[in-house]
Amino acid sequence: MTHLWVRAEQRPNEDRVGLTPEGAKALMSGGIKVTVEESAVRAIPLQGYIDAGCEIAAENSWPSAPADAIIFGLKELPEDGTPLPHRHIMFGHAFKGQHSGKALLDRFAAGGGTLYDLEYLVDEAGRRVAAFGYWAGYAGAAVTLKSWCAQQRGDICGPVGVYPGKDALLAELNAELKAVQADVPTAIVIGAMGRVGTGAADLCEAMGITVTKWDMAETASGGPFPEILQHDLFLNCIFARPGTPVFVPAEALSAARKLTAIGDVACDPDSDYNPVPIYDQATSWEAPALRVASDPVMDVMAIDNLPSMLPVESSHDYAGQLLPSLLTLADLKSGVWGRAEATFREFVPA
């Protein structure tokens, strides 16, 4: 019997989950065994999984799960160097030239396990079957706006946290924007036609911000793009890949510009293809903005688990998108799973 083991997230500020109790019940009805670890932080309470009939395991006990279990989580595993013998479903961040990804792939090679990277679960046309993109864009735009508001106070953005829902986030942003008594900023979103860009634009428009929406056609020339510097906020919502143009080069930091706050929602600072190569590290909930220039000021927001700021909404949205694929787990050699394994084997041959 196919066995899906939903692990607790071990990364700080990660409250999301990729399977709801309703989804777990559907999997079990389809003949898939579901084990769910206890979690001190998961946004969806454990009782729902108990009521659905899932087996419950101790938090972070997945290393001792049965050898045939498929371990399902969202964010990365603890970087302890241990070999990985299981099959894992998660965001690996290892296939786009990320320097930290090599260590993860080495662990799979050492243990004989397999990574089914959630970012590479795609349909026949190559489109991702599930993504947190909308809520990443929404929350990323929110934190970038908070960074801009902090600049108007002569400060840098302070810590951010979890919100019970988007209405609470919007109320807080409205209060901050009103308090700075400045003209509403302008924003440009690149990747505006995708999930991430749609979320970013929706947040801006909810705040009364005028948004310039660009996508592939507007960036096909390869740059430079002086229009970006003519906006207060720039939200990068295009995932880095070979051929992605540079949107904000290093020389932009000393150029005449209106731009002072960048939200790199895609957040690939250690990628060889980073289109915003003016910073080299992700930011955090505790320190959301990285100041990369002071005259004039420039802050970069590059938090890599933004949807967890709205964990209930983002979990339900993502889990609903992913469930049809999870229902096909009994056949890992075809469909989305076969394609994901083929991508993994390009980097870790069998």
Looking at the annotation, which residues are catalytic? 75, 93
The two three-digit tokens of residue 176, written as one number = 């901050």
Other C-beta atoms closer than 10 Å to the C-beta of 340 total: 22
User: Could you tell me which residues come within 8 angstroms of residue 47 by beta carbon, excluding any fewer than 6 positions away?
Assistant: none
| Cα 202 to the center of its chain, rounded Å | 17
Residues 216, 245 contacting (CB under 8 angstroms): no
**CA–CA dist 76, 305 (Å, integer):** 11
Find out whether 143 and 301 touch, Cβ atoms under 8 Å. Answer: yes
Distance CA 17, CA 15 (A): 7
